[in-house]
Amino acid sequence: MDAREFGGPLAWKDRAREALGTARRRLGDLLRPLPAEVLSTQHSPLMSPPIWDVAHLANYEEQWLLRSLGEPGLVGAETDRMYDAIRNPRASRSTLPLLGVAETFAYAEQVRARALRHLDGLDEEALVQTGALLEGGFVYGMVAQHEQQHVETLIATLQLVSSTALPPLPGALPRPDRGSLSREVRVRGGAFRMGTDAPWAYDNERPQHGVDVPEFFIDRFPVSNEDFLAFIDDGGYRRQELWHPAGWAFREAERLEHPLFWRRSAQGWERRRFALWEALPGAEPVCHVSWYEADAYARWAARRLPTEAEWEKAAASAPDGTVRRYPWGDTPPDLSRANLWPLGGHPASVGAFPAGASAWGAEQLVGDVWEWTASDFGPYPGFRAFPYPEYSAVFFGPEYKILRGGSWAVAPDAIRNTFRNWDYPIRRQIFAGFRCARDA
Ligand SMILES: [Fe+2]
């Protein structure tokens, strides 16, 4: 695909404006109700103070939608350095002389106003001069998705703050009973086209390329809390033989006995959702488990995690050889197909979205919880770093595992079948669960 997908060399301008506006509205909706103290505090060494995220978003936007497009910047090298994610590990960000709450939001607004003015003035001459960054509106899609991704990071930060209630969310999630369905689906062997060349895709999703995947079975739904409890009750956290050696060492060091944000009370298992402790909902996908816990569960169940090629094939391919942008087809996500931000504020029960099934019958691949896969983060054949190596290339290697599908806290603009997320296998504060697979 190329710029013509949007119907003309500048026809993407409306879409760019809309994507930036949606991202900013969601950021404001999330942060506006919060006291200044919550915004400026570092709540965990795993996360930034929320105002760091906001100023970082503004600084990133300044670099990509102003300076790289020939506009003057607003701040100097020192501020750039302070809000550079690579230079400043998260644990160190509260020690920086950060902008205050009001200054941070003012900075973000100034950058946005200038970026929109520049976008309004773009003409075909600018396209010729700037080249690839503007092709199909790429750089605007990149900045809008970046902002949406930080909204999810901020939601994860708020989940770590046990005193903060997330503002009520509008949706009521369906609670179906579809227990009579087989728990797994079969995906036929053969080649499929993995990855994408769509205009707003990231460099690590490109290029689309053929991959041969032998026949396999994959779970119809993500592993539920109830499923995971059976693993706990069967001594799963005490049986070293089920664990990857590094995972066992991690379990021992952290004394892990259950997923993060769970506790056992006199009433039974509970989980904390923002400021609220509630009875563990058995039918929801398990969330806040590390890759090591997912891997141990799969071994206990005599199954395994799917590779990312299997995951994407189950989500994107169809028996007739076509590929889809979302599991159900090319239509953007809506409330009947996937639980994405801002719908429910937590994962939906398994079976809640039959209309979101893939061609092979797998459900809830998009939304609810990110799904750990067996695969390390690496480049596709023909990968080219764009527009900067710090987006993906510097993270390639065996220390990161791939997650797919997005969580309930991901915005529709920031997820598709080909989207690749990555994190350390010990990470638990992210909205991550998994499903299992097995060879046919
Ligand atoms: Fe970022």
Quote the pLDDT of residue 167.
65
Mean pLDDT of 75-92: 91
391 Cα–ligand 1 center, Å: 9
Q: Based on the number of CB atoms within 10 Å of its own CB, is 131 exposed (0-12), middle (13-18) or buried (19 or more)?
A: exposed
pLDDT at 166: 74
Instruction: Please state the rounded mean pLDDT for residues 323-328.
Output: 98
Of 166, 138, 131, 139, the C-alpha closest to 151 is: 166
Residue 308 pLDDT > 90: yes
Mean pLDDT of 289-316: 98
CA angle in degrees (0–180, nearest 5) for 146-365-147: 10
pLDDT bin (cut points 50, 70, 90) of residue 3 is: very low
Distance 210 CA to ligand 1 centre (A): 31
Cα(286) to centroid(ligand 1), Å:
27
Mean pLDDT of 240-261: 98
Task: Output the pLDDT for position 70.
Answer: 93
Q: Which residues surround ligand 1, an ion (CB under 5 A)?
A: 85
Q: How far, in Å, is the centroid of ligand 1 from the Cα of 351?
A: 33
Query: What does the DSSP 8-state code read for residue 323?
Result: B
CA–centroid distance, residue 211 to ligand 1 (Å): 31
Whole-number pLDDT of residue 1: 41
Q: How far is the CA of 335 from the centre of ligand 1 (A)?
A: 27
Cα(54) to ligand 1 centroid in Å equals: 9
**Residue 289 to residue 295: CA distance in whole angstroms:** 10
Distance 191 CA to ligand 1 centre (A): 35
Say if residues 331 and 338 touch (Cβ distance below 8 Å): no
Nearest partner of 406 among 370, 353, 363, judged by Cα: 370
pLDDT tens, position by position, 154-193: 999 999 988 877 766 666 777 776 767 789 999 999 999 9
Parallel, antiparallel or unpaired: strands 370-377 and 432-433:
parallel
DSSP state letter for 290:
-
- Report d(CA 432, CA 217) in Å as an integer: 21
Average pLDDT value for the chain: 93
Q: How far is the CA of 258 from the centre of ligand 1 (A)?
A: 30
Whether the pLDDT of residue 142 is over 70: the answer is: yes
CA of 147 to the centre of ligand 1 (A): 8
pLDDT reported for residue 65 = 97
Q: How far is the CA of 19 from the centre of ligand 1 (A)?
A: 17
Residue 367 has pLDDT above 90, yes or no: yes
pLDDT at 344 over 80: no
- Per DSSP, 63 falls in state I
84 CA distance to ligand 1 middle (Å) = 8
Give percent of the chain with pLDDT exceeding 90: 83
Q: How many CB atoms lie within 10 A of CB 61?
A: 25
Give the pLDDT confidence of 91-132 residue by residue, as tens digits. Answer: 888 889 999 999 999 999 999 999 999 999 998 888 888 888
Tokens describing residue 267: 């009433």
285: its two tokens:
């996908």
Q: How far apart are CA 111 and CA 114, in angstroms?
A: 5
Q: How far is the CA of 156 from the centre of ligand 1 (A)?
A: 14
**C-alpha 423 to ligand 1 mean position (Å):** 14
Q: Using the mean position of ligand 1's atoms as its centre, give its distance from the Cα of residue 344 in Å.
A: 25
Q: Ligand 1 mean position to 232 CA, how many Å?
A: 36
With the C-alpha atoms ordered 255, 260, 266, 269, is the resulting torsion angle positive or negative?
Answer: negative
For range 270-287, the mean pLDDT:
93
The residues pairing with 433 across neighbouring beta strands, listed in sequence order, are 371
State how far Cα 176 lies from the chain centre.
Answer: 25
Q: What is the mean pLDDT of residues 249-272?
A: 97
